[in-house]
Chain A
Amino acid sequence: MRGIRFAPRLNERDKSMDNEDKINIPHLAMLARLSLDEAATQRAEHELHNIIDMIDQMQAVDTSDVIPMAHPLDAEQRLRSDQVTEQVDRERFQRNAPATAEGYYLVPRVVE
């Protein structure tokens, strides 16, 4: 997850930018694999603007010495031994699949 190091640090961000400039809804929709029509894009822009205004209150807090909290009780990841515990029942699992053939999931052609 630390691959995000390319991201500018908080203090390097151009604080003069206001939300309108920051929110690129078509780009976000593309990242989230959502397609929004013109009206939905405009609505999302307005709503996200308000939501981001609200969450931007966080920037007022000095957290320079605070260690981020990923688990609410600071628990460590529990590991198990690398042993087979159950077999995948493909036929059963694929009953929920929209389209399958011979045990494969069918999708539109990817390679021409």
Chain B
Amino acid sequence: MSLHPFVTVTELRQGLATGEYSAVELTQYFLDQINRHQPTSNAFITVDEQGSLKAAAAADAQIAQGKAGALTGIPMAHKDVFCTNNVLTTCGSRMLENFVAPYDATVVHNLQSAGMVCLGKTNMDEFAMGSSNENSAFGPVANPWHAEHVPGGSSGGSAAAVGSGQVPVATGTDTGGSIRQPAAFCGITGLKPTYGRVSRYGMVAFASSLDQGGLFARTAQDIALVLGSMAGFDAKDSTSAQRHDSWLEQIAQQGIPQTPAKLKIGLPAEYFQAMSDTQQLDDVRNTLEQLGHTCVEVALPNTQMAIPAYYVVAGAEASTNLSRYDGVRFGHRCENPESLEDLYQRSRSEGFGEEVKRRILTGTYALSVGYFDAYYLQAQKIRRLISDDFSNAFSQVDLLLTPTAPGPAFAAGALKQDPVAMYQQDKFTVPASLAGLPALSMPCGFKQGLPLGAQLIGPAFREDLILGLARDFQQATDWHQHTPAAAAGDRT
């Protein structure tokens, strides 16, 4: 298999093992892809040419010594929300435009220890708040399939980078859909693991009870390979899950476990009723049935309340988490502050963008005296109702199949002036976030030349089922193998 931009991690492992190319050659190849795409794509905030070539040389030395691990020498990129020692971590914000973390996030450390080579940090909505990547202080990102459409958000840079063949795999974070929705919009596979599966240590906090790190790749198989090294208990994250799932520990060697022969897959009525056109999802259903599984309708009656509850919980947690940006210890500081109050107010007002301020104000409102019970407490109660809906569903079915987003990638600027309409983009992804459940988006067809995603939601810590079914689907279909026309000429 010769090198091309849409090569899979699985193929790269083989190429490196057989000496078809070195890790340095591989890194240089993808650095060239990034440099070629960057002027139009803007998927990266920082490209670490020197650091990545050095890491690739170290990987080659390991391979030569026969000490290579499952991911040694595989190029990747991190969403710029993960702290990286000695490389900028901006979180897409002016507030952190000069911030160099004094430590690595656990995710960064884990993937580096596994031998992966980080090529750079990807663009994102500021502080991971957004569904279009239009809220980045470093400019918007182009959708690989149509430059005038958004790549989705908040992990838009990572999704666009993988979608246009700039890297084979990238990390992301998902608070209310920030991995799944951009994966759907960019025609790739994206996994939000169970809350607590991946360490949040060193991941710049947005909404701590919802934030979860995850992955983008071309296939479920590739995601599984990298997840094995990325996930795991971390004493430095107080909400990290203490789990010993043997399938996860063996996934790099054994691959995704075999899917049970007859799964019962639930189709939530509330999700399908909200779609004007379910043709592509009906096709997914047919494929899954041909694979021997059964599909039945299920009810998740509190679905409609997920968006309101989410924007209260996430806003409240954001307003609390972002109070740390005070212009004193790190981050942007205004010029010539007249007083401490002036320092706080101007540093924050200059450092934060519009959407971040909007969410801080929403959260401050929901937490303020007189409204706490009506908003924050009520949202937490609705969160339980939504979680109970899923528990009921999973007493009847093994997995859920839903659309990932209401439609394909929308045009840039189309929703920017209407925050409430923008928030509705998350209506199919937010419920699983509130319930902390694992969910994956996989390509399932096209509409107006733009890719569509299907979402699989599973019970807590059953990423094996989700990944297994997605792998089987990708063996039966070729939607994940389609590549954008703009980049198709790159295939050799």
A interface residues (Cβ-Cβ under 8 A, vs B): 4, 6-10, 13, 22-23, 25, 28-29, 31-36, 44, 47-48, 50-59, 61, 63, 66-73, 75, 77-78, 80, 89, 92-93, 95-99, 105, 107-110
Residues of A within 8 Å of B98, CB to CB, are 96
Judge whether A8 and B370 touch: CB under 8 Å: yes
Q: Provide a sorted-by-A list of 8 A–B residue pairs whose CB atoms are within 8 angstroms.
A: A33-B345, A44-B358, A58-B305, A63-B381, A72-B209, A72-B437, A98-B331, A107-B328
Judge whether B380 and A69 touch: CB under 8 Å: yes
Please tell me which stretch of B137-145, B308-316, B441-449 contacts chain A, meaning at least 4 of its Cβ atoms lie within 8 angstroms of it.
B308-316
Tell me, in angstroms, the Cα distance from A67 to B235 when the chains sit together: 28
Residue of B nearest to A4 (CB): B372
Tell yes or no: B333 within 8 A of A by CB: yes
With A63-B381, A98-B327, A98-B328 as given contacts, are A34 and B349 in contact (CB-CB < 8 Å)?
yes
Residues of A within 8 Å of B100, CB to CB, are 95-96
Residues of B within 8 Å of A4, CB to CB, are 369, 372-373
Judge whether A25 and B361 touch: CB under 8 Å: yes
Determine how close the nearest CB of chain B comes to the CB of A55; give it in whole angstroms: 4
With A58-B305, A73-B195 as given contacts, are A31 and B420 in contact (CB-CB < 8 Å)?
no
Judge whether B360 and A96 touch: CB under 8 Å: no
Residues of A within 8 Å of B383, CB to CB, are 68-69, 72
Specify which of B328, B333, B339, B378 is in contact with A58 (CB 8 Å cutoff). Answer: B378
Tell me, in angstroms, the Cα distance from A77 to B368 when the chains sit together: 25
Tell me, in angstroms, the Cα distance from A80 to B357 when the chains sit together: 35
Specify which of B99, B308, B375 is in contact with A96 (CB 8 Å cutoff). Answer: B99
Q: Within B437-466, which residues are at the interface with A (CB < 8 Å)?
A: 437, 460
With A34-B345, A89-B102, A96-B330 as given contacts, are A69 and B362 in contact (CB-CB < 8 Å)?
no
Residue of A nearest to B361 (CB): A28
Residue count of chain B within 8 Å CB distance of chain A: 79
Residue of B nearest to A94 (CB): B329
Judge whether A54 and B369 touch: CB under 8 Å: no
Judge whether A35 and B327 touch: CB under 8 Å: no
With A54-B420, A68-B380, A68-B384 as given contacts, are A107 and B361 in contact (CB-CB < 8 Å)?
no
Specify which of B102, B304, B420, B423 is in contact with A93 (CB 8 Å cutoff). Answer: B102
B interface residues (Cβ-Cβ under 8 A, vs A): 98-100, 102, 194-196, 209-210, 235, 238-239, 241-242, 302, 304-305, 307-309, 311-312, 319, 323, 326-331, 333, 337-346, 348-349, 352, 357-358, 360-362, 364-366, 368-375, 377-385, 387, 419-420, 423, 433-437, 460
Judge whether A7 and B239 touch: CB under 8 Å: no
Residue of A nearest to B377 (CB): A68
Judge whether B329 and A97 touch: CB under 8 Å: yes
Determine how close the nearest CB of chain A comes to the CB of B175; give it in whole angstroms: 12
Determine how close the nearest CB of chain A comes to the CB of B358; give it in whole angstroms: 6
Judge whether B361 and A7 touch: CB under 8 Å: no
Residues of A within 8 Å of B331, CB to CB, are 96, 98
Residues of B within 8 Å of A29, CB to CB, are 361
Tell me, in angstroms, the Cα distance from A96 to B83 when the chains sit together: 13
Judge whether B302 and A61 touch: CB under 8 Å: yes
Judge whether A96 and B340 touch: CB under 8 Å: no
Residues of B within 8 Å of A89, CB to CB, are 102
Tell me, in angstroms, the Cα distance from A66 to B309 when the chains sit together: 14
Judge whether B308 and A31 touch: CB under 8 Å: no
Specify which of B369, B433, B460 is in contact with A6 (CB 8 Å cutoff). Answer: B369
Tell me, in angstroms, the Cα distance from A32 to B180 when the chains sit together: 31
With A58-B309, A73-B436 as given contacts, are A33 and B348 in contact (CB-CB < 8 Å)?
yes
Tell me, in angstroms, the Cα distance from A89 to B339 when the chains sit together: 29
With A4-B372, A48-B365, A61-B382 as given contacts, are A34 and B328 in contact (CB-CB < 8 Å)?
no
Instruction: Rank and list the top 3 A-B pairs by shortest CB-CB distance, nearest first.
Output: A72-B436, A68-B380, A98-B333
